[in-house]
Amino acid sequence: MFGPGAYVPDPTEGIVDGKDLPTPQLVTSNRHHQYTPCPRCGHLASRHTSAQRTFHDRGDVSIGCPVDLLVTSSHHYGSQCRKYCNIALSDVALPGSHDTHRVTQMAVRLVVEDGFPSRPASGHLWRDHRVCVPCATIQNGVEAGGKKGARPQGRCVPGLGSGGVCGGRRRRCTLRRPLLCALGRGPSAG
């Protein structure tokens, strides 16, 4: 048995191919309902189809393998409003994300509060929590302030090249003002 402060080697150190990493432990979660209230009209919507989605969660360091959360959710059809709706998974992860909120918060905290660069933070998450988060994902989460899909303030739509198309007037930004336009202080940011 190892005592406090004893060096415990990482069995995955030196693995270069992702296929050689330990297989994740699957934890299932069921959000498969027969009926649910429609978010638009409030009437009961019946189940139409179901789907499964996998999220990466913090792993189990004691057995040395990552944990994947397999969520089964149902899609519903409201007969009153004739619209489809899904069971919300926003309490598990951000929309379009592959990682749970616990992983995202830990990654952003490592970079923002502890001052880790993205690449060492990614290695730290694997070594100490057995979750593989690419350093680009960490960097995007930090730049967005922890929110996925954050948009710049103002009405400027980014375009190709040095400027963007501004607001409803469809004017091109001047070469000196694309940053001001992106911040909402450009010529059409009324």
**Number of folded domains in the chain?**
2
Residues 135 and 161 in one domain: no
Residues 39 and 130 in one domain: yes
Whole-prediction pTM value? 0.63
Residues 138 and 159 in one domain: no
Residues 130 and 164 in one domain: no
Residues 111 and 177 in one domain: no
Per residue in 103-138, pLDDT (tens digit) is 888 888 888 888 888 888 888 888 888 888 888 888
Per residue in 83-110, pLDDT (tens digit) is 888 888 888 988 888 889 888 888 888 8
- Between 60 and 126, the more confident residue is 126
Distance of alpha carbon 91 from alpha carbon 31, whole angstroms: 12
Residues 174 and 134 in one domain: no
Strands 65-78 and 25-31, bridge-based pairing: parallel
* 54 lies in some domain: yes
Domain range spanning residue 180?
Answer: 152-190
Distance of alpha carbon 184 from alpha carbon 166, whole angstroms: 10
Residues 115 and 28 in one domain: yes
